[in-house]
Structure 1
Amino acid sequence: MNFQHTEDRRMLADTLNRFVHEQYGFATRDTLARSDSGFSRELWVRFAELGIVGALFKEADGGFGGAGFDIAVVFESLGRGLVIEPFLGALVVGHALAHAGGDAQKALIASLIEGHAVTALAHDEPGSHYELARVSTRAVRGSNGWVLTGAKSVVQQGAEADFFLVSARTSGTCDAEEGISLFVVPRETAGLGVHGYRKIDGGRAAEICLNEVCVADDALLGERDAGFATLEASIGAGVLALCAEALGAMEVAKEHTLEYLRTRKQFGVVIGSFQALQHRMADLLLEVEQARSAVINAAAALSAGRVARERALSAAKYTIGRIGARVAEECIQMHGGIGMTWELPLAHYAKRLVMIDHQLGDEDHHLERYIALGRSQRHE
C-alpha cells in the first residue's frame, strides 16, 4: 500500500506549513490566544484565501477536497502551528450542512470557505459525558416555526460565531438516537444567551443558553427526528481532524525535545548521549509512528460504511489520547523544569495534546465505543 500523499496534498501541506511558519509564529499565536476574541478574523480570511478551508469540502459543495486524507493533511499542519482559528467548527458544521441541508442552508458553506463567516457546533450539554445521543434541549412546534429551550456547554469559539448548529430533542427520551433534530440558529436570534471564556490550551469557548428561542421552519436541518446520523457523520470528521491535529503537535514536541537533547549539557556532555534518555526517546518515536498509522487508518475509513468508519475513528481517538498524553509527559520530563514555563512553546503543545483527548470523546469513551461497535457488528 502506498502511504504517500498525492502531489496536490503535498503542495497543500507545503503551502500551509510555509504560511504558518512565516505568518503564525508562536508569539503571534500566544497573543491571539489571550485576546478577547480568541483568534483573528483577518487571519481566518487569509487562511481561506489560501484555499485551506476549501480543502475540507467536496467539489460538489464548493470545495476541492473533502476526503479523509485532505482533512488529515490540513489539520496536521494546523497542529504543528497550534492554530486556533475556527477550522473545526467550519468542518463539522459545514459537513452537516452538506449532508442534510437544503439549497439555502448549503449556501452557508460558501461563506465558510471564503472566510466570511464563523460557525460553531452547539451539541454538548451540562452533565453529559460525550454521549452523542444524550440531548435534553427541547424543540417544540410554535405558531411560526420552532421554539428551542435548553443549554449547551463548551461551544468552541461560541462567542464569535455568526451562526450555530444546535441539536435539540423533538421526540423520545433524553438518550435516544431517534428524536434528535438539528437547527441552524443565527447569532442574533432573540433569546440566545452566550457567555464566553478563555480555555486553558488557548482560544475561547462559550456556554449557551436557549431561552425560548424562536426559529422559522427553514432552520430545521434535514428531517425532523432524524438528525443523529448527520450528527454522527459530521462529528466523525471532527474526530479525524483532532487526531491529525494532535499528530502535528506531537511531531513538533518531538522535534523540540530532540533538539534540546542535542544541545543541553550536564557534566560537560550533551544529555542526549545518556543511554537512558536515548531509550526513552526511541520509545517515544515508535509511539508517534503508531499514532500516525492510526490517523492514516481513520482517514482511509472516513468514506466507509458506518460501523467500519466509526470503529476506525474511535480506535484512532483512543490511540491519540493515550499517546498524546505520553508525548506531553515525556517531552516535559526530558526538558526538566524549563518544560513547564509559559515562555517555552513546548508547554503549550503539551497542554493542547492533553486537551485534545477531552474533545469529542476522551480515551475511555472511545475505547468503550470501539468495543460496543464491534459487538454490534458481530450480531449483524
Structure 2
Amino acid sequence: MNFDLTEEQQMLNDSLRRFVANEYGFERRQEIIRSSSGTDKATWSAFAEMGLLGFTFPEDFDGLGGNAIDTMVVMENVGRGLVVEPYLATVVLAGGLIRDAGNDAQKADILPGIASGERLLALAHYEPGARYNLSHVQTTARKDGDHFLVSGQKTAVLHGGQANQLVVSARTSGGISDETGLSLFLVDASAKGVQVEDFTTHDGHRTAEISFNNVTVSADNLIGTIDDAFSAIEKAVDLGIAALCAEAVGAMEAMNAATLEYIKTRKQFGVPIGKFQVLQHRMADMFIQTEQARTMAILAASEADSNDRASRREAISMAKTLVGQAARFVGQEGVQLHGGMGVTDEMFAAHLFKRLTLINLLFGDADHHLAKVSDGLLARTA
C-alpha cells in the first residue's frame, strides 16, 4: 500500500492546515458554536472556493473526481481544528448517496449546488431503538397515486437542523429489520409534515430529531431503485466511517501537540513537568497510538470506495476498532497530563477529548466493530 500523498493532495493538505490555523482558531470556533445556527457561512464559502465541497463528485457535475483518500486529507484537517461545519453530513453522507445512487437528473440538480456551497443536505437514517443496526427502519413510505407519503421518526440526524433537504430512508416493503424493502427519498426540510428539533451535542456539533407525518414526496424524488437502497446506505455509512477515522487522527495529532506544549511549560518543583521521564513515556505512547491509528485510517480510506462489500466492511470495521481504541487512549492521556485544567472549557484539550469520545460512538463504537471483525473471522474458519 502506498502511504504517500500525491503532489496535489499534499498541496491541499498544506492549504487546509494554514486555513485552519489562521482562519479557524479556538476562539472563532467557540463563537460559531454559540451562534444560532452552529455553523459559519464564511467558512463554508471558503471551503466551496477551495473546491472541497465538490472534491469527490464527478467532473460532469462540477466536481473534481476525487476519492476517499482526498476526503481523508480534508477530514484530518477538520479534526485538527475541530471544525464544526457540516462536511461529513452534506458532502460525504448525503452527497455521496446522491452521487452513487441518484439518477443523472438528480445529480445535475443537487451536486453542483453542494459544490458551490448553496445547498446543505443531511442523511436521515438512524431511528430510536436501532442502535447500530443499519437495516432497522420503521419509517414508512406508502405509495399514493403519483407520490409517496412518508411517516416516521429519525434520530441523531447529523446537521439535520441546518439542511435544506434530507435524504430519508423509509421502508416500502418487508419487515422492520430486513435489508430488502428499503428506499431513499429526497425530502425538503421545510415540507409540510416535517418537524425538526435541532440541538447542540456535547462536542459542539449540531444534530436533530426529525419526525415525518404523512409528508408528500414526489416519485421523482425517489433516489435509486425502490426496495433496494440498503447497499447504497451501507456504503455511504462506510465512507462516513472512513472520514471519521481520518478526523480522529487529526484530533489526536492536535491533542498530542497541545499536551506536549503544556508539559513543556507547566512547572512543578521548579522544572517543566515534561522533564519527568514517566511523562515522556506517556507522551511517546500517545504518539505511537496516533501513528497506528493513521495507518488504519489510510486502510479505511483505500477500501471505502470499493464495491466488494465483504472486503470493504472488514477493513472499515478493523479501522474503526483500532481508531476508536486509540482515540480513547490519546484523549484520556491528554486530559490526565493536563491535570485538572484538562476538563475545563478554556482548554482546547477538553474539546478535543469530547470530540474523540463522540467519534468513537458514531456509526458503531470500537466494541461493536470488534465484534463485527470477530464474527467475520469465525465465519471464515467455520
Aligned to 1:282: 284
Deviation at 1:219, TM superposition (A): 1.2
Distance in 2 between the 1:281 and 1:230 partners? 41
Aligned partners of 2:314 and 2:220: how far apart in 1? 34
Give a deviation string over 1:263-288, Cα, whole Å, max 9, x none: 21111111111121111111111111
SS at match of 2:361: coil
Q: Distance in 2 between matches of 1:101 and 1:377?
A: 34
Q: Does structure 2 retain, via aligned residues, the 8 Å contact 1:61–1:98?
A: no
Is the contact made by 1:34 and 1:203 (CA closer than 8 Å) also made in structure 2? no
Gaps of 5+ in 1: none
Aligned with 1:153 (options 128, 152, 155): 155
CA distance in 1, matches of 2:381, 2:181: 26
Deviations 1:59-118 (A, max 9, x none): 354321431211110100111111111101121111111111112211201111110011
Counterpart CA distance in 2 for 1:75 and 1:332 is 23
User: Aligned partner of 1:371: which letter?
Assistant: S
Map of 2:340 onto structure 1: 337
| Pairing partner for 2:129 from 127, 130, 134 | 127
Question: How has the CA–CA distance of structure 1 residues 123 and 377 changed in structure 2, closer, same or farther, with 3 Å as cutoff?
Answer: farther
In 1, the alpha carbon distance for the partners of 2:374 and 2:177 equals: 19
Map 1:1-380 onto structure 2 (within 5 A). 1-90=1-90, 91-107=92-108, 108-304=110-306, 305-375=308-378
Unaligned stretches of 5+ in structure 2?
A: none
**Which residue type is aligned with residue 171 of structure 1?**
S
**AA partner of residue 312 (structure 1):** A
1:213-269 Cα offsets, whole Å, 9 max, x none, are 110101111101100011011111111111100100000000111111222111111
On the 8 A contact 1:32/1:203 being kept in 2, the answer is: no
Asked if 1 retains the 8 angstrom alpha-carbon contact of 2:79 and 2:246, the reply is yes
Is 1:307–1:377's contact at 8 Å kept on the other side of the alignment? Answer: no
**Aligned residue identity for 1:42:** A
Look up the equivalent residue of 1:29 and give its one-letter code.
Answer: R
Cα deviation code 1:114-135 (max 9, x no counterpart): 1001110100111210111111
The CA distance in 1 between the partners of 2:249 and 2:332, in whole Å, is 15
| Deviation of 1:22 (Å) | 1.4
Instruction: Give TM-score scaled by structure 1 length.
Output: 0.96
Give 1:322's aligned amino acid: Q
Preserved contact between residue 167 and residue 180 of structure 1 (Cα < 8 Å):
yes
Higher mean C-alpha displacement, 243-252 vs 104-113? 104-113
RMSD: 1.4
C-alpha displacement of 1:369: 2.0
SS at match of 2:326: helix
Q: Which amino acid aligns with 2:333?
A: E
Q: Is the 8 A contact 1:185 1:215 kept in 2?
A: yes
Deviations 1:171-205 (CA, angstroms, capped at 9, x unpaired): 11111101111111111211011111111100321
Contact 2:54 2:111 in 1 (8 A): no
| Aligned counterparts of 1:118 and 1:89: Cα–Cα separation in 2 | 8
Instruction: Tell me, yes or no, if the aligned pair for 2:258 and 2:348 is still in contact at 8 Å.
Output: no
- Give the drift of 1:143: 2.1
Shift of 1:365: 1.6
1:378 positional shift: 6.1
After superposing the two structures, state which structure 1 stretch, 52-61 or 94-103, moved more.
52-61
Q: Structure 1 residues 377 and 148, CA, compared in 2 at 3 Å: closer, same or farther?
A: farther
Range 348-357 or range 304-313, more displaced: 304-313
Structure 1 residues 37 and 377, CA gap change in structure 2 (3 angstroms): farther
Aligned in 2, Cα 1:331/1:65: closer, same or farther, shift over 3 Å?
farther
> How many Å separate the matches in 1 of 2:58 and 2:277?
49
1:147 aligned counterpart, secondary structure: strand
Q: What amino acid sits opposite 2:361 in the alignment?
A: H
CA distance in 2, matches of 1:230, 1:378: 29
The Cα offsets for residues 325-367 of structure 1, whole Å up to 9 and x where unpaired, read as 1111100100101111111111101100000111111112211
